[in-house]
Amino acid sequence: MSQMLPMCPRSRAAAAINNQEIRVSGQRKRPGYRVKKGDRVFGEIRLEQDEKILEPDSQPLDVVHSDSHIILVNKPAGLVVHPGAGHGDNTLVNRLIHHFPDLDQVGTDPTRPGIVHRLDKDTSGLILVARTRHSLEFLQKEFKYHRVKKTYLALVSGRDLAGTGEVDRPVGRHPTHRKRMCVNVDTGRHARTGWQVLQRFDNACLVSVQLYTGRTHQIRVHFYDMDSPLLGDRTYQFRRNRTGRQAYPRHMLHAWQIEFNHPYSGQKFRFVVDPPKDFIRVAASLAHRVSDDSQKVWEQLISGRPV
């Protein structure tokens, strides 16, 4: 690509491929992939002179932990992680570069400084950010080799889900819906999800979810495929249930816990953040405990004790 586009730096081409802006015959390839006869390469690379300078955003940031190497943030639901199509500003990255100005020099993609993993816009919870180039490279490898442990909380439809279980089914782009993913045994990538039921309600469950791989929409797709879509999910929901989806403010998914090795000290870190009030209120309503103290109800729910 660098030979075909002499104005494009190699690092920019690699970043575009890593970010899935460039595809080979419809598939994501590594930057070192050698193009074969018959391959069709398509996409778009934005060169520096065409890129919008990120504007710092002074809105509050819920920083769970920070040191000279990493930042750990509790992302609110409704906030996009980084700029992209339709989201030029008002993202987590805009807030990060205001509160941590040195961050804009980390990484090869100026729209994603320090970003090593993502959460969907309407998913709340913990997101880890690298603060130096060394930390970025270290954490990228940790995620690549699945050494970062991420646990989520979800409220899912139905009460008949097995108490514990695991689904190992490939996830890829939906063949006809551009913004959706699906279980795709032909072109999907390996995706593995485990779960444990913490509480059963009349027609829903509170589950903790272990994410072993990190595919786009993986948890949402896997539970939809098991006939237990997330409550409030506007994308992965059975047609018969879509009329009642407005009862929930968003899809009920929260990045609850994260465990990782510190990029400098090697120390094992573990952080936990409770879900926001909207998640707790929905869980309390499912338990018919709306009028009670929501925090006490939540502590009882998460303990696994009957409510």
Whole-angstrom Cα distance, residue 135 to residue 51?
A: 25
Looking at residue 290, its pLDDT comes to 67
The residue segments making up the domain with residue 102 are 62-307
Helix (H) or strand (E) segment spanning residue 74: strand 70-75
> 3-state DSSP: the chain helix, strand, coil percent, rounded to 5?
25, 25, 50
Shared domain for 221 and 164, answered yes or no, is yes
Instruction: Give 56-113 pLDDT, tens digit per residue.
Output: 999 999 999 999 999 999 999 999 998 876 667 889 999 999 999 988 788 878 888 9
- Residue 168 lies inside a defined structural domain of this protein: yes
Residue 16 has pLDDT above 80, yes or no: no
Looking at residue 298, its pLDDT comes to 84
- Residue 57 lies inside a defined structural domain of this protein: no
Whole-angstrom Cα distance, residue 122 to residue 33?
A: 34
Looking at residue 4, its pLDDT comes to 63
Shared domain for 109 and 16, answered yes or no, is no
- Residue 250 lies inside a defined structural domain of this protein: yes
Whole-angstrom Cα distance, residue 8 to residue 169?
A: 37
Residue 1 has pLDDT above 70, yes or no: no
Shared domain for 87 and 153, answered yes or no, is yes
Shared domain for 118 and 228, answered yes or no, is yes
Model confidence at 233, pLDDT cuts 50, 70, 90, reads very high
- Residue 54 lies inside a defined structural domain of this protein: no
Looking at residue 148, its pLDDT comes to 96
The mean predicted confidence, pLDDT, of the chain is 87
**108 Cβ contact list (under 8 Å, min separation 6):** 11, 12, 14, 15
Which one from 57, 109, 120, 233 is the annotated catalytic residue? 120
Shared domain for 142 and 183, answered yes or no, is yes
Shared domain for 12 and 155, answered yes or no, is no
Model confidence at 229, pLDDT cuts 50, 70, 90, reads very high
pTM value is 0.81
DSSP assignment, residue 34?
P
- Strands 124-130 and 253-261 come out as parallel
Residues 267-288: what's their mean pLDDT?
A: 94
- Residue 211 lies inside a defined structural domain of this protein: yes
- Joined tokens for residue 282: 């929905």
Shared domain for 13 and 87, answered yes or no, is no
Q: Return phi, psi of residue 278, to 5°.
A: -65, -40
Shared domain for 184 and 298, answered yes or no, is yes
Shared domain for 10 and 135, answered yes or no, is no
Nearest to 255 by CA among 101, 148, 176: 148
Residues 4-24: what's their mean pLDDT?
A: 68
The structural domain count of the chain equals: 2
Shared domain for 91 and 144, answered yes or no, is yes
- Residue 101 lies inside a defined structural domain of this protein: yes
31/268: higher pLDDT: 268
Shared domain for 171 and 247, answered yes or no, is yes
Model confidence at 241, pLDDT cuts 50, 70, 90, reads low
Residues 195-218: what's their mean pLDDT?
A: 95
Shared domain for 31 and 154, answered yes or no, is no
3-state secondary structure string across 256-292: EEEEEECCCCCCEEEEECCCCHHHHHHHHHHCCCCCC
Instruction: Give 119-169 pLDDT, tens digit per residue.
Output: 999 999 999 999 999 999 999 999 999 999 999 999 999 999 999 999 999
> Is 160 a catalytic site residue?
no
Looking at residue 228, its pLDDT comes to 96
Q: Which CATH number covers residue 88?
A: 3.30.2350.10
Strand partners, 91: 80
